Amino acid sequence: MTAADGARLRAALFPCNPSFGKTGRGSVVLSPGRTEPIEKYYEVVDDLRERGFTVLVHDWRGQGLSARILKDRRRGHAEGSGLFLADFNSVIAAFEHRLPKPWVAVGHSMGGGLTALALIRGERRFSAAALSSPMLGVNLGGKPSSLVMGLASLMVRMGLGHLYVPAWTDPLEQPFELSVLTHDQRRLNRYRDQVLACPDLRLGGATWGWVEFALRLSAEIHKPGAVEGIETPLLTFLAREEALVDNQLIRDFARRAPNGTLVELDDARHELFMETDAVRDTLWVAFDALLDQTGI
């Protein structure tokens, strides 16, 4: 499909399990994290279809097979949150007539952060939302966020925002024993095989422009009164062995959300939907409880 500014975007629509009838229980708009293409979420799509949902999944601009922002397609780049949210709305508009209501938003990591930002900015079409390890703050390894933000903004202003952040490692290049993504080697290998089968899906490290985007997103989300304005029932998942996003900021966000619930998952790393069966089972029990509570 085509974005508002003419860029090429990619999305996929999956109908609900036929046993639930034509419209089923409603629709889920599923927004993956940084680097993650649609293909990585096929198992999650099946889990949702078996619950009676039509599922819309999309590749964010700059990753998957949507338009990349830089000529070097391996660079994980961003130029603010505005384009991402505009693309989010374009994708929904393109499929709206094929998305039975009620709608549920599901977002992981960067997709969770952008979903939270959309809700803060007034998105009211969703009857519920679930965020998995949302990027509400980046784990900076103890470095002050003001220092990193200042450096990232300086690099962008100097026209160097396209450069890689030094020492940024690609998790897919790490051996499984050092993985910060999941305890489930089978699911991690499945994703690696997908990328090997279609190298154009792959995204590497982040640029200074992406870091500036991520930190500005976090700052807007945590402004006084921002989270308190979210009316949508909200379920937030946190991995207790998290290494990529800031868990304390996730806790603060969930505590401030008027209709928010936080579930902390033991023996879990960042990619909760790609974790072991035991972790995923706990996640889905909580997700089903959210649906019951909201009457979906």
CB atoms within 10 A of CB 134: 29
Of 48, 86, 42, 47, give the one whose Cα is nearest residue 66.
86
Q: Is residue 29 part of a domain?
A: yes
Is the pLDDT reported for residue 22 higher than 90?
no
What is the distance between the alpha carbons of residues 85 and 152, in angstroms, rounded to a whole number? 21
The CA-based diameter of the chain, rounded to the nearest angstrom, is: 57
Q: Is residue 4 part of a domain?
A: no
Is the pLDDT reported for residue 168 higher than 90?
no
- Is pLDDT larger for residue 178 or for residue 138? 138
Q: How many CA atoms are closer than 13 Å to the CA of 46, on its beta-carbon side? A: 4
What is the distance between the alpha carbons of residues 10 and 80, in angstroms, rounded to a whole number? 20
Q: Is residue 239 part of a domain?
A: yes
Total count of domains within the chain: 1
pLDDT averaged over the chain?
96
pLDDT of residue 173: 78
> What values do phi and psi take at 186, rounded to 5?
-60, -45
Task: Give residue 44's pLDDT band: very low, low, confident or very high (50, 70, 90).
Answer: very high
> What values do phi and psi take at 69, rounded to 5?
-80, -35
What is the distance between the alpha carbons of residues 141 and 166, in angstroms, rounded to a whole number? 14
Pairing of strands 103-108, 26-31: parallel
Distance from the first to the final alpha carbon of the chain: 29
Question: CA 100, 102, 106 angle in degrees (round to 5)?
Answer: 100
pLDDT of residue 86: 97
Of 117, 129, 121, give the one whose Cα is nearest residue 29.
129
Task: Give residue 5's pLDDT band: very low, low, confident or very high (50, 70, 90).
Answer: very high
Q: Is residue 148 part of a domain?
A: yes
Whether 269 contacts 242, CB under 8 Å: yes
Q: Is residue 200 part of a domain?
A: yes
Domain extent for 265: 10-294
Which CATH number belongs to the domain containing residue 53 in this structure? 3.40.50.1820
Is the pLDDT reported for residue 167 higher than 80?
no
pLDDT of residue 84: 98
Q: Residue 237: left (phi > 0), alpha (psi -120 to 50), or beta?
A: beta
pLDDT of residue 211: 97
Q: Is residue 2 part of a domain?
A: no
Pairing of strands 103-108, 234-239: unpaired
Of 36, 225, 236, 272, give the one whose Cα is nearest residue 128.
236
Q: Is residue 5 part of a domain?
A: no
How far, in Å, are 42, 111, 130, 192, 206 from residue 284 at the CA level?
Answer: 16, 18, 11, 24, 31
Whether 228 contacts 256, CB under 8 Å: yes
Whether 129 contacts 232, CB under 8 Å: yes
Is the pLDDT reported for residue 38 higher than 80?
yes
Pairing of strands 53-59, 103-108: unpaired
Task: Give residue 174's pLDDT band: very low, low, confident or very high (50, 70, 90).
Answer: confident
Rounded to an integer, the average pLDDT of 222-227 is: 97
Rounded to an integer, the average pLDDT of 179-197 is: 95
Q: What is the pLDDT of residues 88-100, one digit of tens each?
A: 999 999 999 999 9
Q: Is residue 44 part of a domain?
A: yes
Is the pLDDT reported for residue 170 higher than 90?
no
pLDDT of residue 178: 85
What is the distance between the alpha carbons of residues 244 and 251, in angstroms, rounded to a whole number? 15
Is the pLDDT reported for residue 200 higher than 80?
yes
Is the pLDDT reported for residue 1 higher than 80?
yes
Rounded to an integer, the average pLDDT of 102-115 is: 98
Radius of gyration of the chain (CA): 18
